[in-house]
Amino acid sequence: MTKLSRRQALSATVAFGGVSMAGGLLGSPRPAAASTEITAVEWGGDVVDAMKQIEAKQNQVKVNWVLHQGGSGAILPKIKASWPHPEYDYVSGWEGSFNGMVKEDWLVPVTTQTVPNLADIPQKIIVKNGKGEWAAVPRAIGGIYCAYRKDTSPIEIKSIDDLFDSRLKGKICWPGPTQAMMLPLVALALHGGGNENNMEPGWALMKKLAQSGNIGRVGVTDTDFSTSLTSGETSVGYYSEPQLTAVAKSFPVVRLTKQEGVPTFLYQSGFAILKNRPNLEATLAFVNFCISPEMSSLYAEVAGEAPLNVKAKSPDALKHLAFTPQEFDKYVYVPDFNVVLSQQDAWSKRWESEIAPLL
Amino acid sequence: MKRAPSIFFYLPAGVVFSVFFWLPLGGLLLESFRPFTPGRIGAVSDAPLTLANYEELLTPSFLEFFVQTLRISLFASLVGLVFSFTLAYWITRRMSPRGRAIAIGFFVSLMFLSVLVRTYALELTFGAAGPFRAILLSFGVYPNSRGYIEVLVAAGLLHYIVPLATLTLLTTIQNVDPRLFDAAQTLGAPGWRAHLSVTLPLCRDGLLAAFLFSFAFSISAFVIPMILGKGRVLFVSNLIYNRFSEIADFPSGAAISAVLFAVSITIVYLTTRYVNRREAG
């Protein structure tokens, strides 16, 4: 048996320790010591890709990315469970989740002092809390609208009535009761002469659509929708922008954002900055950087949501979301989001009892 | 020297079990009696308890969800049991020792394969856009029809049930003396009769265990109906997920969970009692 002398053991320890230290220094992925680490909840796919590219263009903040799992509301129970010590510095979301967080008083109010680039965002769109303070930082605008794959859809769709065409049997991917704030159901209500305050025409049409056999899949996650359309399982959908953009990258998609009688809904996506976190200044600085004109343009190119910063450049691929005031009045419907959000529970349960059995 | 009472040996496990099992269940049950305000997250704190969350469930449509879950789970469990028993019998009685070791190793390695991977494999192969679409259509089977989706969900459950139940039944069949089967045949019973009157009764406890494992898995399945069900065939677990994660209606989710727990426990009790009575009788 080979014996190890004390001199040999000491030499080996020094050598091993030196190698470990060198490896740690050389292999360290961390940026310069000045960067602060924050934890952010983002959407997956192209959205988080865009945000990572934005992160790479600065060195003040290093972001620990956590992805949304399911709808925007899925993260809220996790925050509630850990409140008043949330684990996240900001949560990306939209009107739906922002209003929920505002009601729970979780959000840091923002101003042009703390987020200077807010001065270049249309103020009308900024979500406010009960005191009238700005409660979230919008970064981009997306659409929820009807679209179809031109190469696989058996018919051209020009109105809501076309969704009931028997040639579309099994070809529609319709959002489930927890997706897209059930705004496609509001679209049916509008078509039937109602609105978000009078949804009976919408429910009647939804039952008719469910019974028609045209709904091939009910999307319960964003991935369901994009996978269903890209695989060719379905050809038509009424869904939101990033998923439709993902499909449009590989297939010809007809987007009915400017089709009379087929309502388009616009939503803002943005940042909700949580209270009681240690790196508030760094978070606000990062968010401000994200909504700068250059980063807004980058986000629009990669994630497929039109920039809200008026100085940012909107890519040609998002022309379908650029509206003149006349087009906005004609094609875009702005619901009362307070009504929509407060009805999500009731609508979801009504879906389970009246629509799900028909599918 | 006086020996310590044996309870001290069970106390640590009992405490851990109570803390991590009974306490959360108790919390869930309490949550089910709390009111919920739409638009808020979770239950309203400091509000009086209510039965409203349970009253909401007293609808034919909610019953339909339960019936659908139980129907598909029962179907998958029973079919799985038939397949598994046949496989376990073949492995135990017909295979060489080397073949037996390979077969057992195969089923064990299947258990290590993620449910998600297997479910997506089924979706890609037998889904509406899969390579079998043309074959299905040629047989008049429409892959977007509800009946087909239910069969696909059941197939997804079987993918997990068959290895689990087969491994459970291996030792059961091994413990049955094969000479008893031979004796039955010697006395003139055909093979199928000998199995029905000798093998199956002696395997009753193992069959019950395999069925209960399979049924427990099926009734609580979440990923399989979520992916293969296409949002059209939903299990009760999917409703619970929607309540907790999407709408933040914790009280309603807790009420559905409590009902599912009570139904499951009742089924296990009734099944076990029925089998034990048959055995005693």
Reduce the secondary structure of B207-250 to three states and give it as a string: HHHHHHHHHHHHHCCCHHHHHHCCCCCCCHHHHHHHHHHHCCCH
**CA distance linking residue A58 with residue A66, whole number of Å:** 19
For chain A, what is the largest distance between any 2 Cα atoms, rounded to a whole number of angstroms? 92
A342–B38 CB contact, under 8 Å: yes
This complex has an ipTM of: 0.78
- By C-alpha distance, the chain A residue nearest B225 is A220
Residue A77 to residue B41, Cβ atoms within 8 A: yes
B123: left (phi over 0), alpha (psi -120 to 50) or beta: alpha
Residue B36, helix vs strand vs coil: strand
Q: Which residues of B207-231 are buried (b: 16+ CB within 10 A; e: fewer)?
A: bbebbbbbbebbbbbebbbbbbbbb
Chain B nearest C-alpha distance from A119 (Å)? 30
Q: Is A177 on the interface with B (CB under 8 A)?
A: yes
d(CA B259, CA B256): 5
Instruction: Identify the structural domains of chain B with CATH numbers, from first to last.
Output: 53-280 (1.10.3720.10)
User: Closest to A231 (Cβ–Cβ): which among B38, B64, B129?
Assistant: B129
Which candidate in A102, A239, A348 is best for mutational testing of the B interface (most B CBs within 10 A)? A348
Which of A23-37, A80-94, B110-124 shows the lowest per-residue confidence on average (mean pLDDT)? A23-37
Contact B128 A233 (CB under 8 A): yes
Residue partners of B122: CB distance under 8 A and separation at least 6:
B152, B155, B156, B159, B228
Q: How far apart are CA A291 and CA A299, in angstroms?
A: 9
Contact status of A352 with chain B (Cβ, < 8 Å): yes
Note whether A135 and A272 are within 8 A (CB): yes
Per the DSSP assignment, residues forming a β-bridge with A217 are A173
pTM: 0.79
The ranges assigned to domains in chain A are: 36-141+268-321, 143-266+325-358
| Range A59-78 average pLDDT | 86
Q: How far B214 CA sits from the closest chain A CA (Å)?
A: 26
How far is A329 from chain B, CA to nearest CA, in Å?
A: 28
**What percentage of chain A carries pLDDT values higher than 90?**
58
Instruction: Tell the CATH superfamily of the A143-266+325-358 domain.
Output: Periplasmic binding protein-like II (3.40.190.10)
Q: Considering only CA atoms, which of A144, A138, A143, A180 is closest in space to residue A270?
A: A138
Q: What is the pLDDT of residues A144-173, one digit of tens each?
A: 999 999 999 999 999 999 999 999 999 999
Query: What is the per-residue pLDDT for A2?
Result: 43
A232 at interface of B, judged by CB pairs closer than 8 A: yes
Q: What does the pLDDT read at residue A30? A: 45
Does A80 lie at the interface with B, CB-CB under 8 angstroms? yes
Distance CA A327, CA A264 (A): 11
A247 CB neighbours in chain B (<8 A) are none
Q: Which of B36, B231, B245 lies closest to A219 in CB terms?
A: B231
A36 beta partners: A61
What is the assigned CATH class of domain A36-141+268-321? Answer: alpha beta
Residues A334, A267: Cα–Cα separation, whole Å: 9
On whether the CB atoms of residues A304 and A318 are closer than 8 A, the answer is yes
What single DSSP character describes residue B44? P
Summarize chain B as % helix, strand, coil (round to 5): 75, 0, 25
For residue B19, count other CB atoms closer than 10 A to its CB: 10
- Give the end-to-end CA distance of chain B in Å, rounded to a whole number: 48
Reported as type and span, the H/E element at residue B252 is helix B250-280
3-state secondary structure B45-93: CCCCCCCHHHHCCCCHHHHHHHHHHHHHHHHHHHHHHHHHHHHHHHHHH
Whether A345 and B36 lie within 8 Å, measured CB to CB:
yes
**CA–CA gap between residue B216 and residue B268 (Å, rounded):** 9
- What are the CA-CA distances from residue A249 to residues A173, A302, B129 (Å)? 18, 11, 19
Whether the bond into A201 is cis, omega within 30 of 0: no
Nearest to B247 among A69, A178, A359 (CB): A178
A167 has a chain B CB within 8 A of its CB: no
In the numeric block, the tokens 């990923």 are attached to: B223
pLDDT in single tens digits along all 281 residues of chain B: 556 667 778 888 888 888 898 899 999 999 999 998 887 778 877 788 999 999 988 888 888 889 999 999 999 999 999 999 999 999 999 999 999 999 999 999 988 888 888 898 898 888 877 888 888 888 888 888 889 999 999 999 999 999 999 999 999 999 988 888 888 888 888 888 888 888 888 899 899 999 999 999 999 999 999 999 998 999 999 999 888 877 888 999 999 999 999 998 998 898 888 877 876 66
Residue type, A307: P
Sign of CA dihedral B232, B233, B239, B241: negative
Best probe of the A interface among B116, B144, B153, B257, by most A CBs < 10 A, is B144
Per residue in A105-131, pLDDT (tens digit) is 999 999 999 999 999 998 888 899 989
Distance CA A24, CA B47 (A): 55
Q: Is A233 in Cβ contact with B129 (below 8 Å)?
A: yes
Nearest to B56 among A76, A215, A349 (CB): A349
Q: A36-141+268-321 with A143-266+325-358: one CATH topology? A: yes
Is B38 within 8 Å of A343 when comparing Cβ atoms?
yes
pLDDT tier, A6 (very low <50, low <70, confident <90, very high otherwise): low
